Amino acid sequence: MFESELQGRIRWSTVRAFFQAALKQKSPLLTGLFALVFASAGWSAVSLYCGELADRLMDLGRSGAVVHRDQRLASLFLIVIGLLYLMYLGNRYGRLYLNQTLIRALTDLHARAMNAVLAAPMSFFHSTPSGRIVSRFSNDFHNASQSLDRTMATFIYACFTMFFSSIGILRNQPLVLGVAVPFALAIFFVSRFFGRRARDQQRAASRAAALVLAHVNETGNVGVSARALGLAQRLEARMNTLQSNSARLSLATAETSNLRAYVQSVLALCLIAIAFFVSAEAHKAGALTLGQAGAVITLLMLILRNFVLVIELFNTIEVGFVSIERMVEFSLLPAEKDIQQTSLAQESESALLKFENVALRYSPNEPLILKGLTAEIDSCKMIGVVGRTGAGKSTLISALLRFTPLDEGRIILRGVDLASLTIKEARRKVALVPQDPVLFSGTILENIVPGGSFSKKKAHEEIYNLLSLVGLGEWVAQLPAGLRTHLLERGANLSQGQRQLLCLARALAQSPEILVLDEATSAVDIETERLVSSALQKIKTQIPILLIAHRPVTIRSCDEVWVLSEGRISRIGSPQQVFAEELLQ
Amino acid sequence: MKNSRSNSPDLISALRILKNSTAFRIATRTVKWPLAVASLVLLLATVVGLVAIDAQADLLVYLGGSGAHDWSDLPSMFSFFVFAQVAFESLQWGRRSLQNRISVAITGTLRRNISNKYSEMRYADLQLISSGDVAQLHASDASQLAGVWAEGILSFVATLVLTLGVSIFLTLQVGVSGLAFFLVLFVLVILAQRFARRTAPTLQKRAEYSALRLSVIQESVRSISLVKSLTAEEEFEHRVAKQAELEQDMKLQANAISCAYVPVFASLRWLGWAGLLLWVVYAPIFFGEPLVPVVLVGLVFSVNWYSSLLQDSFLFVGTYLSFIQVGAVSALRLDQFLDRPSARAQFFLPRTEEVDLAVEDVTVDYPTRTGQWALQNASMNALRGKLTVIVGPVGSGKSTLLRTLLGELSPSHGRVLRRTPLKVAYLAQDVALPSASLRDVLRYEFENLGHDDIRLGELLELAEFAQDLESLPAGLSTAVGERGVTLSGGQRLRVGLAQLSYFSDADALLLDDPLAALDAATSEALMAGLICGLWANKTRVVVTHSPALIARADWLVRLEAGRVVEQGPPAENTLIRPIRSNEHLSPTSF
């Protein structure tokens, strides 16, 4: 499954994907980087000028000259103060532009991940619970944003400061380099050792956090029945187990980083100590002026401080990149295969809908569910599909909506092979009323015309006609806000039956060529069912209806019943005939 | 939760909010001792840090005085400097470790509290909360409130103590320049406060937009097959992108404000240098006596070093403060959730012995539409050991009546009666199963205790699930997934029924349309085996459209537009008329 694949170092592709997103806005990114480089160079330069200033003071002191009349001293002071001022400007605009770029890049990444998730094939959703998906857009997006857009600028600034300070030191005291190399190597290896551990721990922690979030999401749904059974404390117990596991893992991650920072800073301190001695010896031997020695030491301290900072920030950033990696992974999800096959169907095909030897399995290793299903609808009528559980009723819907590609055979709708269309074209021709009547937050209008609500709105009259057809016309008309009445998430402020009728209206608003109802009238009472039935009677004069049903009252108005068993159609007949046969068995 | 208080917290009011916040109190209580130890370590680290700085300054001055001494003290001075630095780093390590613990402990406690509150929430309250809000509280707000202590207050105090220490230190060494630091310190605290006030509203809005974004994501991901069948992917991309962009605008605003304050916080170093300039160049004019060059050299480096040290600290002051503020905003949101009054169900005792559950003249408002009732002046009794069936058209209040009997909704008028003690079990219309193995779901047991698969198998057989069980890849160990998505609606119902029969000690059963989405043969078997079989002696209140079950009822209640229009035994009841008209289709025999 998805959660267990990632291990080892952060992949370059992740970092690249992120910076590609950032590079979309070249000029603010480059401006920001340039300003930060400028500021950090300034910082190191100040320390060097400090040295010159100190030496000048020494000279003046030795010669007994009047300090405040000395032009060179004054100009050195001015240089230092001017450099500091430029440094602030660089710091300010560097952060401003760099952070802007990063914030935008993250939003961009979020959008790409979201779009890829929505376009992913159904098999992805079957294997990934929604809590885990949402967790990446909540936990991971939050982490990435926390750890990157606040720290990246400081990180870059500190890195450049180290770089420029090293140049400053090398100018004055190249010997230090000989000491620095082995220590830098040691620090590097320590960093790699701990870093690997921290990353893997962080990934484990992310997975554990996703489980906790999934559980919390569930408790809202499961709570009512658990409470009725007096079992709410078991949900709490489960939460405690999951949360303490998650807490243990995130603490472990943080502690690894902490230990790494400690070991590295002590190593760096050793480096400084040795460099200090080298400089002191050089000064004693007269190879360095006092100002130069002081500058070297100050720069060394500067490097040490920035080094510790860089390590700490690096951890934070790395943790951020683990989160980014999880989002990039989503953005790289393969989209549904949208292969259009060349159609072999003839234009003159008389059937409205034809299944030709349709075979289908959900994944290569699983057995076939539909095993050569062949059937035909030749005129606009209502077909009821019945069969025991596992006979392939839901799979038939999967095939029609192209949720799963066919292994064999063809489905031909009004002379067009469904496989010859793009997935979207095919789905627009097939309308589904799902088993669970799901509505989205938004107005009734937005629910009925979800795809087109932002571009081509259907005329209100047309929508009212649809609503009247399903028996909701009067009810909507009497609502104070009419079509603009706001529905809550999952249509929480409607009854189950009202939701189902709205779902039917929504399906019809798609102007489909076939309507598929998936046990859609299960929770509708007999009178509403009559309303639905009479609506269906009107609809079936225009398009064929496929009704996946179980209850006799539902299919009694069907013109034809298909009995599905073991992936094939075993019997076609009128409702009365099918009833009669079932009675005999 | 969209209408959270709009007054934006500046630093003072952020602290006031935190002081009065339930969530923050819970957080602080959890980490009382680690906090005390962390403060101690912090103080110690500051002192040791100052000692290390002092050792460094001494070294520089000693180095500057070449020729005046024979270098014999250098090794000991240097060892002391290194020792102080290592001690400082060790203390820092301890402090960070404590901060990590504090942060994890607070986040964990808050998340547990959120989850428990959520699982305790009655149906009525659940309708007012969006799942995106809960995800936001869980993912962001809990950790942000933890940040108040771990990253905010502790670090801010550390900076203040360090600045104070260095200021005193410099005043003793350099006089004027050190006093300048005090002045700057004062100005900076005022500026920090202004900074905090400016960023607060953007932070609050950001949290709100984020919650909305998560709601939309959740909606679309949960109903993905519908979204795809409607080819509405772009619509949802668009909706999510809209919220993400609003959130991004807030982040950009906050960034612009905090960057505008960078030079202000950084001006410290500049002022340090200006002070030095005054002292070195102009003081001799007034005092005549030039300073010893060696002292001057030490001074130059000291000022450069200390001022950069403080500048760095102050660069982060804005971040520390924003941690406190963001935490305060989160505390407000968490409080709204955690302090939500959880109205306990109130039951009265029925007057007669044979009544188990009843409602008397109850009126129930829609949780989401105050003033509009879902039930009006409804009265009904559920007699002990009898099958009461509720029928009525869509939206007539059948599920509402069941939930009122269950105590999940509070009537605005009338009383709910319940015999005590009475154990009630409930099957919702849209059965939600926790994501776990089928075995654990049936037993509601998630700790992998001993198996009693034989008994579970029997129960599943009773619930007509035996055949389905065979087709499941891993049998009882099959993960039924979040909200039971790997099962069809009919399968979920049957697992729900099996779950109820596992907890067979319930006296009364409230079932909301238990036979929907089931074929006639299965319905018949369930009626014979469970509803009128195993449970024949229990009090049962069932919402159904099944004519066969209606025919078996001891008592029928018919609802219309939220009112009980008729009730009585089925034979003499007019309400079965529409069912009789269907009888020619022999509905029970399919």
* Angle of the A26-63 helix axis to the A71-119 helix axis, nearest 10: 160
CB contact under 8 A, B395 and A495: yes
* Residue B582: Cβ within 10 Å count: 15
Residues in A touching B89 (Cβ below 8 Å): 262, 265-266, 269
Q: Are A562 and B573 in contact (CB under 8 A)?
A: no
Q: Are A331 and A17 in contact (CB under 8 A)?
A: yes
pLDDT interval class at A529 (50, 70, 90):
low
The pLDDT of residue A585 = 47
Where do we find the tokens 């709708």?
A413
Residues B319 and B420 in one domain: no
Residues B84 and B165 in one domain: yes
CB contact under 8 A, A118 and B220: yes
Mean pLDDT of B271-298: 65
Where do we find the tokens 């398009």?
A543
User: B581: closest CA among A566, A527, A191?
Assistant: A527
- For the cut 90, the answer to whether the pLDDT of residue A498 exceeds it is no
Terminal CA-CA length for chain B: 50
Residue of A137, A246, A299 to mutate when probing chain B, most B C-beta within 10 A: A137
CA distance B153 to chain A (A): 18
- For the cut 60, the answer to whether the pLDDT of residue A4 exceeds it is no
Supply the range of the domain harboring residue B558: 355-589
List strands edge to edge, sheet with A560-565: A430-433, A514-518, A545-548, A382-386, A560-565, A568-573
Residue B252 has what DSSP assignment? H
CA distance B499 to chain A (A): 10
CA distance B177 to chain A (A): 15
CATH code (residue B187): 1.20.1560.10
Count of domains in chain B? 2
Domain boundary among B312, B338, B364: B338
Residues B299 and B375 in one domain: no
pLDDT interval class at B294 (50, 70, 90):
low
Tell me which residues of chain A, numbers 125 to 184, contact chain B at a CB-CB cutoff of 8 Å. Answer: 125-126, 129-131, 133-135, 137-139, 142, 145, 149-150, 154
Residues B160 and B72 in one domain: yes
Chain A residue with minimum CA distance to B127 = A492
Q: Are A211 and B110 in contact (CB under 8 A)?
A: no
H-helix or E-strand spanning residue A467: helix A460-469
What is the rounded distance in angstroms from the CA atom of residue B532 to the CA atom of residue B549?
A: 9
Instruction: Tell whether B569 is covered by a domain.
Output: yes
Q: Two tokens at B26?
A: 């819970």
Residues in B touching A492 (Cβ below 8 Å): 127, 368
CB-neighbour burial class of residue B4 (10 A; exposed 0-12, middle 13-18, buried 19+): middle
Q: Are B401 and B359 in contact (CB under 8 A)?
A: yes
Chain B residue with minimum CA distance to A239 = B112
Q: Are B280 and B291 in contact (CB under 8 A)?
A: yes
CA torsion angle A557 A562 A566 A567 (round to 10): -110
- For the cut 80, the answer to whether the pLDDT of residue B493 exceeds it is yes
User: A549: closest CA among A388, A341, A354?
Assistant: A388
Residues B328 and B362 in one domain: no
CA distances A2 to A115, A207, A329, B257, Å, are: 18, 10, 9, 40
Chain A residue with minimum CA distance to B101 = A251
Residues B438 and B520 in one domain: yes
Q: Are B565 and B393 in contact (CB under 8 A)?
A: no
* Residue A466: Cβ within 10 Å count: 21
Terminal CA-CA length for chain A: 44
Strands B387-391 and A568-573: unpaired
pLDDT tens-digit readout, B141-195: 898 899 888 888 888 888 777 777 777 776 676 665 556 666 666 776 677 777 7
CA distance A344 to chain B (A): 25
CATH code (residue B495): 3.40.50.300
Q: Select from A77, A230, A506 the Cβ nearest to the Cβ of B423.
A: A230
Residue A430 three-state SS: strand
Q: Report the range of poorest mean pLDDT among A280-284, B149-153, B233-237, B409-413.
A: A280-284
Q: What are phi and psi of A116, to 5 degrees?
A: -65, -40
Mean of pLDDT over chain B = 79
pLDDT interval class at B547 (50, 70, 90):
confident
* Residues 6 or more apart whose Cβ sits within 8 Å of residue A45: A83, A164, A168
Q: Two tokens at B50?
A: 């100052």
Q: Select from A77, A301, A522 the Cβ nearest to the Cβ of B277.
A: A77
A293/A420: higher pLDDT: A420
Domain boundary among B284, B309, B338: B338
pLDDT tens-digit readout, A364-414: 777 788 888 888 888 888 888 887 766 778 788 888 888 888 888 888 888
Residue A386 three-state SS: strand
Residues in A touching B143 (Cβ below 8 Å): 142
Tell me which residues of chain A, numbers 530 to 549, contact chain B at a CB-CB cutoff of 8 Å. Answer: none
Residues B403 and B452 in one domain: yes
Residue type at position A324 = I
CA distance A499 to chain B (A): 9
Residues B327 and B474 in one domain: no
Mean pLDDT of B475-494: 72
pLDDT tens-digit readout, A94-135: 989 999 999 999 999 999 999 999 999 888 887 777 778 888
B53/B266: higher pLDDT: B53
Chain B residue with minimum CA distance to A133 = B221
Total H helices, total E strands in chain A: 19, 12
Q: Two tokens at B94?
A: 């301890």
Instruction: Tell whether B487 is covered by a domain.
Output: yes
What is the rounded distance in angstroms from the CA atom of residue A152 to the CA atom of residue B165?
A: 30
Instruction: Tell whether B37 is covered by a domain.
Output: yes
CB contact under 8 A, A213 and B138: yes
In A448-553, beta strands by DSSP E: 486-487, 514-518, 545-548
Q: Are A256 and A194 in contact (CB under 8 A)?
A: yes
Residues in B touching A431 (Cβ below 8 Å): 229
Residues in A touching B369 (Cβ below 8 Å): 493
Q: Report the range of poorest mean pLDDT among A257-261, B260-264, B377-381.
A: B260-264
Instruction: Tell whether B553 is covered by a domain.
Output: yes
Residues B508 and B427 in one domain: yes
Q: Are B509 and A225 in contact (CB under 8 A)?
A: no
The pLDDT of residue B240 = 93
* Residues 6 or more apart whose Cβ sits within 8 Å of residue B492: B431, B433, B484
* Residue A458: Cβ within 10 Å count: 16
CB contact under 8 A, A291 and B297: yes
* Long-range residue pairs from B282-289, CB within 8 A, at least 24 positions apart, any chain: B282/A68, B283/B176, B284/A66, B284/A67, B284/A68, B285/A68
Mean pLDDT of B486-496: 79
Q: Two tokens at B378?
A: 């409804």
Residues B52 and B118 in one domain: yes
Q: Select from B139, B430, B444 the Cβ nearest to the Cβ of A213.
A: B139
The pLDDT of residue B5 = 40
User: A501: closest CA among A481, A462, A527, A540?
Assistant: A527
Highest mean pLDDT among A266-280, B26-40, B475-489: B26-40
* Angle of the A26-63 helix axis to the A152-172 helix axis, nearest 10: 40
Chain A residue with minimum CA distance to B588 = A552
pLDDT interval class at A69 (50, 70, 90):
confident
Where do we find the tokens 């030490």?
B298
The pLDDT of residue A57 = 76
Residue A454 contacts B where some CB pair is shorter than 8 Å: yes
Instruction: Tell whether B316 is covered by a domain.
Output: yes
Where do we find the tokens 């630093």?
B11
Q: Select from A84, A239, A451 the Cβ nearest to the Cβ of B115.
A: A239
CB contact under 8 A, B213 and A133: no
Q: Report the range of poorest mean pLDDT among A120-134, A514-528, B14-28.
A: A514-528
Instruction: Tell whether B565 is covered by a domain.
Output: yes
Residues B368 and B461 in one domain: yes
Q: Report the range of poorest mean pLDDT among A58-67, A389-398, B43-52, B393-402.
A: A58-67
Cα Dmax for chain B = 122
User: B425: closest CA among B507, B348, B355, B487?
Assistant: B507
Give the up-direction half-sphere exposure of residue A580: CA atoms within 13 A in the CB hemisphere.
6
Q: Are A116 and B204 in contact (CB under 8 A)?
A: no
Residues in A touching B260 (Cβ below 8 Å): 92
pLDDT tens-digit readout, A166-188: 888 887 777 776 777 777 788 77
Tell me which residues of chain A, numbers 61 to 90, contact chain B at a CB-CB cutoff of 8 Å. Answer: 61-62, 66-68, 73-74, 77, 80-81, 84-85, 87-89
What sign for the dihedral angle of Cα A291, A294, A300, A301?
A: negative
User: B455: closest CA among B507, B423, B499?
Assistant: B499
pLDDT tens-digit readout, A400-434: 888 888 888 888 888 888 888 888 888 888 998 88
Cis peptide before B421 (omega within 30 of 0): yes
Residue B262 contacts A where some CB pair is shorter than 8 Å: yes
Residue A568 contacts B where some CB pair is shorter than 8 Å: no
Q: Are A544 and B264 in contact (CB under 8 A)?
A: no
Instruction: Tell whether B85 is covered by a domain.
Output: yes
Residue B169 three-state SS: helix
Residues in B touching A435 (Cβ below 8 Å): 488-489, 517
Q: Report the range of poorest mean pLDDT among A215-224, B78-87, B358-367.
A: A215-224
Q: Two tokens at A31?
A: 């401006």
Q: Select from B231, B486, B518 the Cβ nearest to the Cβ of A427.
A: B231
The pLDDT of residue B173 = 64
What is the rounded distance in angstroms from the CA atom of residue B297 to the CA atom of residue B573?
A: 106
Residue A519 contacts B where some CB pair is shorter than 8 Å: yes
The pLDDT of residue B584 = 35
User: In order of start, what are the domains of chain A with their CATH numbers?
Assistant: 12-331 (1.20.1560.10), 353-584 (3.40.50.300)
CB contact under 8 A, B120 and A134: no
Tell me which residues of chain B, numbers 50 to 69, contact chain A at a CB-CB cutoff of 8 Å. Answer: 56, 60, 63-64, 66
Domain boundary among B307, B338, B369: B338
Residues in A touching B505 (Cβ below 8 Å): none
* Residues 6 or more apart whose Cβ sits within 8 Å of residue A181: none
* Residue B184: Cβ within 10 Å count: 23
CA distances A423 to A336, A382, A418, A420, A427, Å, are: 8, 25, 8, 9, 6
Q: Are A302 and B308 in contact (CB under 8 A)?
A: yes
Residue type at position A268 = A
Residues B182 and B276 in one domain: yes
Residues in A touching B523 (Cβ below 8 Å): 551
Instruction: Tell whether B345 is covered by a domain.
Output: no
Residues in B touching A424 (Cβ below 8 Å): 231
What sign for the dihedral angle of Cα A385, A386, A389, A390?
A: negative
